[in-house]
Amino acid sequence: MAKIVITYGTFDLFHIGHLNILKRAKEFGDHLIVGVTSEIYDRSRGKLNVVQDLETRLNAIKKLDFVDKVIVETHKNQKIEDIKHYKVDRFVIGDDWIGKFDYLKDFCEVIYLPRTKDISSTQLRKSIDSIKLGIIGTGRIAHRFATECSFVEGIEVHSVYSRDMKNVKSFIQNHDILYGFDNLDSFLKSDIDAVYIASPHENHYEQSKKVLHNKKHLLCEKPITLKVKEVEELVELALENNLILLEAVKTAFLPAFNKLLDEIKSGIIGDVIEVKATFTKLIEDRTLREWQSPFGGATNELSTYPLLLATKLLGDVEDIVFYTQKDNNVDLSNTIICKHKDNKVSISTVGIGMKSEGEAVISGTKGYIVIPAPWWLTREFKIKFEDIHKEYNFNYEFEGDGLRYEISEFKSLINRKNLISNMYSHNDMLKINKIIAKFNEKDFK
């Protein structure tokens, strides 16, 4: 009877070490199955530095005539599932994993093979030039962002800009950055490839336009602007100049959030009929920008997150009703009820002066999904059904506060010369912005 061998890997920047271990793996059997890890699974494991996309890595393995089958690995329990499904006799992996997969010995023989010396994907990635990044802004989120950049290989925070040189000097000392500027034009003419904007909302549009005119890739905090026409202009400008324009909505890039979308696309809860999501926090200091009119408020500050979930699952909005509580002309809370196609409904609740449970519930015709608080930092979700004894739980823990995943996506887009993210596209950005713009300016189209 033919012996079946299986092995797994990312196979980024395919090299002689990969080829050697695959050839040796085939020697242990008659039929070789190779599992290539998906990007979402890699990121859930903290592997943020993969250069090539999944399709490129899959094609590199498929070209090998001694490989009999290529599959995609998407989750941590898949190895056992695959071993059972394909009736695998031997699991083979590099010896840098010695002991890590001994639990598979209950299902098949486990073999650890020595790696080829002096060659690795990590070494090859280090030979690729780092992306030099400039940061506009020195506030709270800019500090967190600069810290998270240190966990993503291939990104170098090169410089920072703020109108206040005192803030600039403090920022570069705290984060060991080489250059600081209090002149935006000088900052944009410096040796940087890309820019992250973390300034107040009202500055985003003009600064974004300047960044793109200076031929720099752009990652901008949400909301990228408060007017539909401005977003459309920025998208057009970016595409005309072959530049990446990405809005920094960190939830969109989290591994668990993308796994959630995949599960819903599979039809496990049927047709999604209703989406409810809440994001509130108590901001007691009324001197902070969140409480300043006209650009502050719960809607501008927080609604991007629940509207991301609503529009990802239910699509374009046909009608909107806002139920708003205001204090000194600033919305301390807002419940946004959107009618989508076929009378499907989303209910998004946000607040900066009101506190509620920060969970999300997605209701379908076959079941429903609960994302526990804080749902926007998606680490886990539960799929439930009419039968209370039937339930699926998914957990994807991550380090830090989630920013490194959007940084990793931004870096990957630049390296791969992809202008639009599959996780969060220009169209996704426009759908959300139209709703926020309706609240701010009544210019919803």
Structure confidence by residue, pLDDT tens digits, 130-141:
899 999 999 999
pLDDT in tens, 420-444: 999 999 999 999 999 999 998 753 3
Q: In this structure, are residues 64 and 32 in contact, taking their beta carbons and an 8 Å threshold? A: no
Dihedral angle, C-alpha 290, 296, 298, 300, nearest 10 °: -120
d(CA 13, CA 375): 35
Sequence ranges of the domains in the chain: 4-123, 129-249, 255-397
pLDDT of residue 127: 62
Residue 133 tokens read as 């990044």
d(CA 291, CA 357): 22
Q: In the CATH hierarchy, which fold is given to the domain comprising 255-397?
A: Dihydrodipicolinate Reductase; domain 2 (3.30.360)
Please give the CATH superfamily to which domain 4-123 belongs.
Answer: HUPs (3.40.50.620)
- 129-249 architecture in CATH? 3-Layer(aba) Sandwich (3.40)
**DSSP state string for 260-312:** HHHHHHTTTT-SEEEEEEEEE-----TTSGGGSTTT-SHHHHHTHHHHHHHHH
Residue 83 tokens read as 């071993």
Edge-first strand listing for the sheet containing 155-161: 179-181, 155-161, 131-136, 194-197, 217-221, 245-248
What residues have CB less than 8 Å from 303, skipping those under 6 apart?
Answer: 279, 334, 336, 348, 350, 435, 436, 439
Q: Tell me whether domains 4-123 and 129-249 share a fold.
A: yes
Query: Is the bond preceding 294 in cis, omega lying within 30 degrees of 0?
Result: yes
Residue numbers of the chain with a pLDDT score lower than 70 = 125-127, 129, 442-445
